[in-house]
Structure formats: structure tokens, C-alpha cells
Amino acid sequence: MDCLDRPQRLMLMTRPDVVCALKLGTRKATMIRNSLVILILFLPMTTRADVSPASPRFRQIVADYWNDLLKRHPIEATMYVGDHRFDDRVNDVSLDAYHAWLKSLRATLNALKSLDANALPKGEQTDREVLVLMIQDRLDLERFGDHFNPLVQIVRTPTDVHSDDLHLVFSQLGEFQPASTVGDVENFVRRLNGFPKLAEGLINVLKVGMAEKRVVPKVVATRVLAQLRDLAKPNAEQSPLWDYVERLPEDWSQAEKTEASARIRKAIETSVVPAYAKLAEFVEKTYLPVCRETIGLCDTPDGTEHYALLVRHYTTTNLTPEQIHQSGLDEVKKIREAMEAIRKKVGFEGDLKAFFRHLRTDPKFQMKDEASIVEGHRAIIKGIEAKLPELFGRLPVTPVEVRPFDPVRAKSAPGGEYLPVPSDGSRPGIFFVNTSDPKTRPSYTLQPLAYHETIPGHHLQGSIALETPGRPLFRRYFYLPAYDEGWALYSEALPAEVGLYTDPYAEFGRLNYDAFRSVRLVVDTGIHSKGWTRDQAIAYFEANTSDPRNMIENEVDRYIAWPGQALAYKVGQLTIRSLRSKEEGQRGKAFDVKAFHDRLLGSGSLPLKILERVMQSR
């Protein structure tokens, strides 16, 4: 370890195998590992020779911004960041709080713009530019009234421009709220008892949205209503929040556990369940009847301008919806040609449409049960871990685990989702996989999904960002879809470079996932820019992928609820591929794929226009 610098030594010491080698008790080993992780995350910038000291004024602005963000979003602070200063609080979702936040953002933006950017070290110049762009987008989107729609059926990313998934995020706290001490239980109970205020705030915002004629499509509200009904089941044991009881310390006495369980049961059954029921009743009887039948932003008064801004925000480019739509058509055509080659290779005699039908219905491609899906992904992750040194010089040390979605979320969730490691090191990164209706989860897509969500995709990229000393916390945690999702999609193909796509059906699965993201370019723009119907979008999906119908419907409804975000994947992947092709052309045989990946990931999550400049300047 003497050859490593201080951050590298500390990172090595946090590895589970190293901690276990200390032969400490599990609880004590976990406490030591968490302490080391926290120490790593807050190492000063001077611990690395290649990072210049930040301007004190800039550092203060960024720190104030980050603390204000977490204080205003305490549930997300617990769930995603691992900051536990506000574990007893719920978000203030009132419009007054929203406008106060915008006022705070404007003050931060003015402070950032008042700095002499050229006087900042190069790294802080980039950090400042990123934060200015992100805040400006948030402020620009305010006039379109997205904040009047605080309920959608999917969990969005924690740093997205919206906060409209709290009914789902709150329900996950039983799995992620700290449960180690009496104080932790007290915080959890207080938070549970605070949920009625949050639910009432959501209803009040929905009422204003109705008055302003800013409502979601009925298909979105219908899915949300089904979730609210599931979360309003009367017995505490039926709630995902009851998972908290299973996590109480093993060394507590039975009397202590019984007392804590009773308090949690009371809070769920007398505070949380009635609040979910009230919210469900309002959505069903008052909100849903006035929701719009149309699904695209182009059918709203300012929808064309609104969608154009969302496209720029999510792709971090100046591409127009029309340009993206055409790019999607071109990519789908190329991928279909590659799919035809696989069809011929495996000897299937029908056309591509028949091949899709064969893949959807043949039992040999159907997963048997939840356990086979989870274990299949775990084996795939283990296989790629052994190959990483062939593709990367720098590897993450934080672990990742595979868990199934809870049943409430699974019904409207995608095939998989990644939850990053929190700053307190209390848990690993988590790959949630959708195991509902296992027979509709095709075996040939397991590899690309696992690679996308974990290694070398989101987990590897996010862990390296988190483990980079000296970077502001907002740069470690903020999610810029075009970079993050572009990398994850690009990374799905990397295992082929080290011999891990040996089955032609698995290779087809990778192509199908690529087609899936290319179809998004056509369908998302089709819905929100060209007036496509839901049936039209579903039909295009079915004609160009082998995905099962339930997955396609979930995806199309996701694009209806979350305009523009799905474009980021393919746009980001194409940008990264272009950067690599240019460097391969310039360097020829001297091209080093590991050095390219390390530089790309070392930059952290960046808008694509900044990423291109940063990569080309090195």
C-alpha cells in the first residue's frame, strides 16, 4: 500500500474483503468502514497534486447551495445522499416553499455570475459552469408549470428538475432510513407522523394546477391512483414502510423491538395510511376527471416551446426535436440490419417480425421466477468484474448488490434502476431489478441490463465520481442524463470487447436494448412534438423491438409522464462513441482504451457540450 496516495489507501481499506480481514464483528466492521468512507468523501482538495485549491468564495457558494438543497429536500437527503441531519422531516411541498427555493436559486446564480471565472482554477471553472447551467435550466422551466403536477408513476432521479415522485420515494424509507439506534426510530416515527402534512400539501398543489389548467394526462393519473391505493392498504404489514421493523438491531431485546414496532405500527396505520387514502380519494374523485385525454406536450398551449427546452435540458445539446426524431429513425434502421444478421446466424427462417414474436413467446427465453432473475444478474456482474482491468485503469471500490423492486413500484417501473452509494457508506450501490411477471422478463436481455445498471455502467461511473477526492458534493451526486445514461448505454457494448457476449441471443439482447433506446428518440419526439397517440407509439415499439407488451406500455407511459428524459440515453451514447472514434483516428495503434475511459469518467458527470471540450483539450 505504500505506493498508493492517501485517498487510494483509504479506499482500499474500505473494501469489504479488507474490512473482513480485520476480523472484527460485523457491526464494528461496518462502523469502521462507514467512518473511512466519510473521511474519503470529505478529503480536502489538497490531497491530490492534480487538483488546484478552490477559491474560498466559490467553495462557500457551492457549500451553501448544497446544504440549502438538502435542507429543502430532506427525504432525498436521506435516500440518495446519506445525509442524516434531517431524518425526522418531510419535504415542504407548498407553493410558498417552491418559490422560496427559486429565490434561493436566483441568489446562488447571481453569486456565481459575480465571480471572475478566469480567476478560478480550471477545475472550479468547470464546476461553476455546470452549476450555472443547471440552475438556469431550473429557473427557465418554472414558467411552464411542471411544479403543478407533483405526482407521476415513476421514481425520477433525485437531482432532476422535478420533484413529483414523493409518494413513491416516501414509501421506500422503510428500506433506507437508518434503523440502528433509539434515536433513529424516533426520527422515523416523526417522519411517518409528518406524512399527512406532505400529502395535504400535494393535494393543495394539485388544486392550483387544476385552476391553472396544468394537469397530467389521464393515463399518468390512472397509474398513480393504482399506486396510492396499494399504499393505502389498512394493515401496517402491507406497507413497504413496515420493512423498517425487519431492520431493527439484532442485539436489541425483544421488549425493545416490541415497543419500537408498536410505535411504528401506530404511525403507519393512523398517519400514513389515512393520508395515502385521502390522496387516492382526491385523485380518483376530483383530479382524474379533469385530467387531459391528450398525452403530448404539443397538445398544450405552450407545449412546443416547453418541449424544446426539455430536449435541450436533458440532452445538454442544441438539437431540435426534428433532428432527434430523424436520428432515431436512422439508428433504428441500422440496428434492424444488425438484428437481421443475428436472425440469419441462428437459422431462424421467418422474417424479423416473426423472430420478435418467437423471442417473446418461446418458453426457453422466459425466466422462471424472481430468484432466477436476481441470481442471473449477480452471476453476470461477477463475470464482468474479472474483466474490468482490460477496459479501465481505475476501478471502483464500493460494492453493488442486486435487489428486486418492491411490488408497488414494480408495476410501473422499468426493467432495472440503480440507486447510488450514499455519502455515509451505510449501504452499497443497489441495482433494483423488476421481477414482476417473470415470464415477461426475457433471459437474453439480462446481460445488457446488468451491464447498464451496474458494471461497467451506472455503478462504476457513479462510484468513481463519488470516490474522487476534492470534487464538490453536487458534482459527485448530480445526475446529468445525457452523460450518465449515455455512458451506461455505451457501456452495454464494452463486454463484447473482452469476450463476454458469446451467445448470439445475448448479442441480440444487446442490440434489442440499443434499438429500445433508439426507438425512444422516435417515440418521445413523436408523442410530444408530432402528436402521436399512445397506440401509435406502442405499435412503433412493437415493430422494432422484441420487448413484451407490458414493458412497452410501461415505457410509453413513462415518456408521457417524463417528456424528454428518454432522449438522453442515445444522444449521450452517440456523443461518447464519436469522441472515442475521433481519438482512435488520431492516435491509431497508440490508442489506449483504458486511458480514454479513465479520462472520460475522471471528468465527472458533465453536459455533453462541456464534455466534448474537456475531452478534446486533453
For the stretch 1-10, pLDDT in tens is 333 333 333 3
**Whole-angstrom distance, CA of residue 322 vs CA of residue 319:** 8
**Whole-angstrom distance, CA of residue 323 vs CA of residue 60:** 41
pLDDT at 469: 81
Asked whether 216 and 152 are in contact (CB, 8 A), the reply is yes
pLDDT for 230 beyond 60: yes
Residue 35's SS3 state is: helix
Instruction: Enumerate helices (H) and strands (E) in the chain, giving the number of each.
Output: 30, 3
**Whole-angstrom distance, CA of residue 120 vs CA of residue 58:** 8
pLDDT at 379: 96
More confident residue, 396 or 40: 396
Asked whether 214 and 141 are in contact (CB, 8 A), the reply is no
Using pLDDT thresholds of 50, 70 and 90, give the confidence band for residue 321: very high
Asked whether 584 and 458 are in contact (CB, 8 A), the reply is no
pLDDT at 10: 35
AA identity, residue 210: M
The C-alpha cell that represents 121 in the structure block: 482554477
User: Which is nearest to 83 in space by CA: 185, 177, 160, 161?
Assistant: 177
Helix (H) / strand (E) containing 331 = helix 321-345
**Whole-angstrom distance, CA of residue 581 vs CA of residue 28:** 48
For residue range 552-589, what is the model confidence (pLDDT) as tens digits?
999 999 999 999 999 999 999 999 999 999 999 999 99
Q: Counting beta carbons within 10 angstroms of the beta carbon of residue 275, is it exposed (0 to 12), middle (13 to 18) or buried (19 or more)?
A: buried
588 sits in the region (left: phi over 0; alpha: psi -120 to 50; else beta) called left
AA identity, residue 421: V
The C-alpha cell that represents 316 in the structure block: 445538454
Residue 430's SS3 state is: strand
pLDDT-above-90 percentage for the chain: 80
The C-alpha cell that represents 280 in the structure block: 387516492
CA dihedral 434, 438, 443, 446 (to 10 degrees): 10
Using pLDDT thresholds of 50, 70 and 90, give the confidence band for residue 158: low
**Whole-angstrom distance, CA of residue 299 vs CA of residue 292:** 10
User: Which is nearest to 427 in space by CA: 163, 166, 78?
Assistant: 78
Q: Counting beta carbons within 10 angstroms of the beta carbon of residue 469, is it exposed (0 to 12), middle (13 to 18) or buried (19 or more)?
A: buried
Q: Is beta strand 416-419 parallel, antiparallel or unpaired with respect to 400-404? A: unpaired
Cα distances (Å, whole numbers) of residue 165 to 34, 196, 198, 451, 458: 29, 16, 12, 26, 21
**Whole-angstrom distance, CA of residue 161 vs CA of residue 481:** 11
Alpha carbon 224 to chain centroid, angstroms: 19
Average pLDDT, the chain: 89
The C-alpha cell that represents 409 in the structure block: 413500484
pLDDT at 616: 85
Asked whether 575 and 600 are in contact (CB, 8 A), the reply is no
Helix (H) / strand (E) containing 433 = strand 429-433
Residue 39 per-residue DSSP state: H
pLDDT for 479 beyond 90: no
Q: What is the mean pLDDT of residues 594-610?
A: 95
Residue 402's SS3 state is: strand
Bridge partners of residue 429, in order along the sequence: 400
**Whole-angstrom distance, CA of residue 199 vs CA of residue 195:** 6
**Whole-angstrom distance, CA of residue 111 vs CA of residue 103:** 12
Q: What is the mean pLDDT of residues 303-319?
A: 96
Q: Got the DSSP string for 180-226?
A: SSHHHHHHHHHHHHHHHHHHHHHHHHHHHHHHTT---BHHHHHHHHH
The angle subtended at Cα 372 by Cα 428 and Cα 516, nearest 5°, is: 80
**Residue ranges of the alpha helices (H) in 232-297?**
243-246, 254-267, 273-282
**Whole-angstrom distance, CA of residue 523 vs CA of residue 567:** 10
User: Which is nearest to 267 in space by CA: 201, 194, 198, 197?
Assistant: 194
**Residue ranges of the alpha helices (H) in 362-503?**
370-385, 407-410, 446-453, 458-466, 473-477, 481-491, 494-497
pLDDT at 477: 87
Peptide bond into 456 cis (omega under 30): yes
**Whole-angstrom distance, CA of residue 113 vs CA of residue 127:** 13
pLDDT-above-70 percentage for the chain: 90
Using pLDDT thresholds of 50, 70 and 90, give the confidence band for residue 618: low
**Whole-angstrom distance, CA of residue 107 vs CA of residue 477:** 22
Cα distances (Å, whole numbers) of residue 506 to 342, 411, 439: 10, 25, 17
Least confident of 198-202, 466-470, 561-565, 601-605: 466-470
pLDDT for 19 beyond 60: no
For residue range 179-195, what is the model confidence (pLDDT) as tens digits?
999 999 999 999 999 99
Q: What is the mean pLDDT of residues 80-95?
A: 95
pLDDT for 27 beyond 60: no
Using pLDDT thresholds of 50, 70 and 90, give the confidence band for residue 539: very high
For residue range 38-84, what is the model confidence (pLDDT) as tens digits?
444 444 433 333 344 558 999 999 999 999 999 999 999 998 889 99
**Whole-angstrom distance, CA of residue 132 vs CA of residue 316:** 13
For residue range 398-419, what is the model confidence (pLDDT) as tens digits?
899 999 998 888 887 788 899 9
pLDDT for 21 beyond 70: no
The C-alpha cell that represents 318 in the structure block: 442544441
The C-alpha cell that represents 259 in the structure block: 415497543
Q: What is the mean pLDDT of residues 138-160?
A: 85
Residue 390's SS3 state is: helix
Asked whether 545 and 516 are in contact (CB, 8 A), the reply is yes
Helix (H) / strand (E) containing 116 = none
**Whole-angstrom distance, CA of residue 318 vs CA of residue 311:** 8
Q: What is the mean pLDDT of residues 464-485?
A: 89
